[in-house]
Homo-oligomer: A and B are copies of this chain.
Amino acid sequence: MKKIINKPEDVVKESVEGLGLAWSEIVKVNYEPMFVYRADAPVNNKVAIISGGGSGHEPMHAGFVGYGMLDAACPGEVFTSPTPDQMYEAAKKVHGGAGILFIVKNYSGDVMNFEMAADMLKAEGIDVENVIIDDDVAVKDSLYTQGRRGVGTTVLAEKICGAAAEKGYDLKKLAELCKKVNGWGRSMGMALTPCTVPAAGKPTFELAEDEMEIGIGIHGEPGRERMKIKSADEITEMLAEAIIEDLPFKEGDEVLAFVNSMGGTPEIELYIVYRKLYKILESKGIKIARKLVGRYITSLEMQGVSITLLKLDDELKELWDAPVKTPALRWGI
């Protein structure tokens, strides 16, 4: 295992501490239990938005705490859901009197832990809405299963709902908006290499020198299919087609195109994927009205890429463009 770390068990704590030291004008860190929250919390009469999940997906979620996005983020151990006491204490710290929106990725662990926290908060009379993000088209959906994983759309939902909360949306309206974003967002990812959880010390899976994994999750969990490596254009086509036909996205639609690195894939490759995605969408009469290209929801050092498409209307465009000031996403301010 090649990593720039001290003890594996200190990785999350030390990293969050570093984030807090670097961005003290934007965030503060609570250690027992661990959560990262807005330095100016609580913001009175604003719905507070809290997300969280296993660590290893940086900058998600702690890098998205700040004006116009999250009020708090609860980092679990690497690839392990945070615990209810984290969400509970975070909520108590950032609650501005207008209720709490939990944005939760659809993993059984995350769902159950956030649910427990919501139960605890509701018992104290605090309004909580739990919205689940499940946008990964690589996973077959069905009533009888856990359903799809939450991936790239989470980042977009956090930005858009964050802007809406600043604008004064109440909890009910904000939860509806979050569900709308989830309903209009679709993602799929692939990997060239696995990644190594520090505490485990060895890669989560093996891939031969000429193989890739299509439909990978963000925890190094195996994907939909393993196959020989293909060209960037072919990979982009596979991901884009699966995403487009799922919603489906249609001629005349405006979308936000989000090309994301799994961590280890460098920017030079991301833009090769973006180029092809642009051409595919153009040929179908789908217009990229907004974009995000970079590393926003990652799997440690995994090499690979994911694509997210989010259908846009005027409301979503305006909220996307609104100012945001967080360690990892910032504009207009």
Contacts and interface: CB of A to CB of B under 8 A. Distances in A.
A301 B266 contact: yes
Given A3-B269, A15-B272, A293 B59 contact: no
A43 interface: no
Quickly give the copy total for this chain. Answer: 2
Interface stretch (A4-12, A113-121, A169-177, A216-224): A4-12
A22 B291 contact: yes
Contacts of A58: 266-268, 271
A192 B272 contact: no
Interface residues of A, number: 58
B63 A275 contact: no
A301 B2 contact: no
Interface in A61-99: 63, 78
A105 interface: no
Contacts of A193: 2
A303 interface: yes
Contacts of A5: 231-232, 269, 272
Given A17-B275, A21-B275, A301-B264, A209 B2 contact: yes
Interface of A: 2-6, 11-12, 14-19, 21-22, 55-56, 58-59, 63, 78, 192-193, 209, 212, 229, 231-233, 235, 263-275, 278, 291, 293, 295, 298, 300-301, 303-305, 327, 330-333
